Structure 1
Amino acid sequence: MFKNLSRGALLAACVAASPSFAQTAAGAPSAPLKAAFVYVTPVGQAGWTYQHEQGRLAMEKALGAAVKSTVVEAVPEGPDSERVMRDLTAQGHGLIFATSFGYLEPALRVAADFPNAKFEHVGGYKTAANLGTYNARFYEGRWLAGYLAGKVSKSGAAGYVAGFPVPEVIQGINAFTLGMQAANPKAQVKVLWLNTWFDPAREREAALSLVHAGADVLTHHSASPAVPQAAEEKGVHLLAFHSDMSRFAPEAQLAAVVANWGGYYTRVAKSVMDKRWKPTPVWGGIKDGMVELAALNPRLPQALREEVLAKQRAIAQGKLNPFAGRLVDQSGHVRLEKGALDDAAIGRMDWFVAGVQGTLPTAAK
């Protein structure tokens, strides 16, 4: 099995091209499915890529010898990702997981040139005959995290370190704010943009700036443990994202919004092997087991833990919708009077709810 390959070592390390799941001989068992995972950052010990890696490992454990997987980490979005995916597919990988938002257009181009391979892109908004998209409804976990933040914050101000102003990030900021305001109607969420997914030094600088501005709770949509480490250092609360960050912030972390990719990766690989795969967009939430508020700090009051978990069950049961009821944006414009936003409106979200302190770049609007 090939894993943790650098871009430079990829061609040298991979075997010659061969069908990934063709019959090896008449009547013989099928060869293992060759699946590849392209990661935008190093795997590390926590964060976005780490969580996808846990999903890959769970897939391998579930499917055993029926699948062999390759990992290529630290692949920048843009031309590098296209070259890596093209090489992997040419070398016989029949299933490619492209695990960063900026991989979509490169993946579409490679998919068009390799119609027999299957591609799965996380967070994408376009599909093709052999490219499907998937994502988790992180905003459901974000609402819960915001509610917990609102319950514990003394200042009523949270700091949010955000990567890029894409709809998924905006959803998370809005849901966190609405959750925090459900616990404290006067709560405010201060946002700082990084314009990168992974830059530990800039993540730390943004976190410290938010604490200096009065935030006593931090959360983030960034890939390293820098924000959790800053929270621990400064003695403020943390709602972690991507994965459990308690090893970096054992005192600060209250809980973590995490994605569980293993079940999905296993189902996709099995569907490719069984020739049942179709490019169906998937957006799984708490009820699907794809996202959860996990790793609640045992020092939280038991009554508060039970209250938050009850709200998590309510979301899973469809009784609590983060984007329901009267929604007002920063300018005071009523975006929703009653009912709930549908998936299309959530998916193209490009506005902030009242209570968010920060601006959206023009390109995001």
Structure 2
Amino acid sequence: MSPALRHVAARFGLALSCLLPAAALAQGAKPVPLKVGFVFVSPVGEAGWTYQHQLGRLEMEKALGSRVVARHVEGVAEGPESERVIRDLAQQGVQLIFTTSFGYMEPTLRVARDFPAVKFEHMGGWKTAPNVATYNARFYEGRYLAGLVAGRMSKTGTAGYVAGFPVPEVVQGINAFALGMRAANPKAQLRVVWLNNWFDPARERDAAVTLVHQGADVITHHSASTAAVQAAEEQGVMSIPYHSDMRSLAPKGQLTAVTHHWGRFYTGVAQSVLDGRWSASPAWGGLKDGMVQLAPFHPRVPPDVVALVRARGQAIASGVFHPFSGRIVDNEGRQRLAGGEMDEAAISAMDYYVEGVVGAFPKR
């Protein structure tokens, strides 16, 4: 195993016990719990991006018990408001802070400079500091599988994608979904509507309806609420939700869902702080470690499609297959990969649509 993989495994693994200072053990002192804070970009709700992070927080609390005391602040807008909230948590003595949205990167770094003793974990960014680590998941692995399902299930050959901001994580998901669709149906098309917002239920719903009117009979999304999936259900089309299993909201239309699971990671990070072994290094998860999973398939998905998707998922998890591999061409005909596998740096720098995605890439 490479040093990088050993490091990731260590960050995800759980220690068997918390190591206490020798003096505290000798005196029989009760250990002081670690104060942990979470900053959420949208309301927790009952499903979605923030809901999954909240489930991860609760799993961490259950696993570590009295060794941690956690709190969260929800619905925090990116920008000045997020810096105020992060700074407030640090001033209140919170020792480990998870900032769970891409736009929190610079505010996290600014606060971290003023509180060098506090540990910060930022979701989705790339900048670090001595007390700031980043974490992310290869969501595109699940997106590719979702596209494979959509490509086999769509009758029109067109799927719709409701997207938040054109940041690398979202672009990767769009392209992976399109590649999965085209693997199942070489003529498939993916249409995208950009929101330039993470959480705006009314606009998410309108975007999904627009995509249905453009011929999409499968809707997916990268937005924080359940609105796009509920709109798809109302319109009588299929859906593949993101973040959470939303079967309760789309019992007829949900084919599966790309779900996120943060509990093991959050527990491992908190344990590493308790043990005094935390380090400001990036961590990545994916299908292999269960951070990204597919929800159960709807009975309408044929057994051969289920078998195909599960086999491809196992191939991705084992490293036999990579979603961004082989010859990859963008939707303007330019070759982006001649063969082999695309490395993480190239995936993270995507600023184009792959073949099959309709329309011009948005200018930022």
Q: Which deviations, in whole Å up to 9, do the C-alpha atoms of 1:31-89 show, x marking residues without a partner?
A: 00000000010000000000000000110111111011011111111111111111111
Output the CA distance in 1 between the equivalents of 2:152 and 2:43.
35
Deviation at 1:359, TM superposition (A): 2.5
Give yes or no for contact 1:24–1:31 (8 Å, CA) kept in 2: no
Q: CA deviation at 1:302?
A: 2.2
Alignment of 1:135-214 (within 5 A): 135-214=136-215
Counterpart position of 1:6: none
Residue of structure 1 in register with 2:106 after alignment = 105
User: Identity rate of aligned residues, in percent?
Assistant: 62
CA distance in 1, matches of 2:87, 2:268: 24
Deviations 1:82-141 (A, max 9, x none): 111111111110000000111010000000100000000000110000000001111000
Query: Equivalent residues in 2 for 1:227-242 (5 A)?
Result: 227-242=228-243
**Residues of 2 paired with 1:332 and 1:311: CA distance?**
27
How far, CA to CA, are the matches of 2:240 and 2:359 in structure 1? 19
Paired letter, 1:353:
V
- What does residue range 291-306 of structure 1 map to in structure 2 within 5 Å? 291-306=292-307
CA contact (8 A) 1:119 1:130 kept: yes
Q: Conserved in 2, the CA contact under 8 Å of 1:48 and 1:242?
A: yes
Separation in 2 of the partners of 1:320 and 1:285?
13
8 A Cα contact 1:192 1:358, kept in partner: no
Question: Matched residues in 2 for 1:358 and 1:132: separation?
Answer: 36
Residue 272 of structure 2: aligned partner: 271
After superposition, the Cα gap between the structure-2 partners of 1:96 and 1:24, relative to the gap in structure 1 and judged at 3 Å, is farther
Which whole-Å CA distance do the structure 2 matches of 1:350 and 1:259 have between them?
A: 24
The one-letter code sitting in structure 2 at the alignment partner of 1:66 is R
Residue 341 in structure 1 maps to residue 345 in structure 2 = no
CA shift for structure 1 position 29: 3.2
Structure 2 CA distance, aligned partners of 1:313 and 1:288? 12
Which string of whole-angstrom CA distances, capped at 9 and with x for unpartnered residues, describes residues 142-196 of structure 1? 0000000000101100010000000110000000000000000000000110000
Aligned to 2:15: none
Q: Is the 8 A contact 2:48 2:242 kept in 1?
A: yes
2:7 corresponds to which residue?
none
CA distance in structure 2 between the aligned counterparts of 1:332 and 1:304, rounded to whole angstroms = 30
Contact 1:58–1:263 (8 Å) recurs in 2: yes
What is the distance in 2 between the residues matched to 1:314 and 1:305?
Answer: 14
Distance in structure 2 (CA, Å) of the matches to 1:311 and 1:259: 19
In 2, Cα distance between equivalents of 1:92 and 1:226: 37
Q: Once the two structures are superposed, what CA deviation does each residue of 1:19-38 show, in whole Å capped at 9, x if it has no partner? A: xx998896513200000000
Letter of the aligned partner of 1:361 in structure 2?
P
TM-score (norm 1): 0.92
1:246 alignment counterpart: 247
Residue of structure 1 in register with 2:256 after alignment: 255
4+ residue segments displaced more than 4 Å: 21-27
Matched, 1:68 2:103: no
Distance in 1 separating the partners of 2:363 and 2:207: 21
Partner of 1:129: 130
Q: Structure 1 residues 282-291 or 68-77, which shifts more?
A: 282-291
Unaligned runs of 5+ in 1: 1-20
Q: Which residue of 2 aligns with 1:118?
A: 119
Is the partner of 2:196 in helix, strand or coil?
coil
Distance 1:116 1:27, change over 3 A: farther
Query: Is residue 217 from structure 1 mapped to residue 218 from structure 2 by the alignment?
Result: yes
How large is the RMSD of aligned CA atoms in angstroms?
1.4
CA distance, structure 2, for counterparts of residue 141 and residue 258 of structure 1: 8
Query: In the aligned structure 1, how far is the partner of 2:71 from the partner of 2:197?
Result: 25
Q: AA paired with 1:246?
A: R
| Segment of structure 1 superposing worse, 334-343 or 353-362 | 353-362
* Equivalent residues, number: 343
The secondary structure found in structure 1 opposite 2:288 is helix
Alpha-carbon distance in 2 for matches of 1:97, 1:252: 34
In structure 2, stretches of 5+ residues that fail to align are 1-19
Query: How many Å apart are 1:273 and its aligned residue?
Result: 0.5
Do structure 1's residue 356 and structure 2's residue 357 form an aligned pair? yes
Partner Cα separation in structure 1 for residue 77 and residue 215 of structure 2: 34
Task: Tell me the CA shift for residue 270 of structure 1.
Answer: 0.2
User: Please, what TM-score do these two structures have when normalized by structure 2?
Assistant: 0.92
Counterpart for residue 4 of structure 1: none
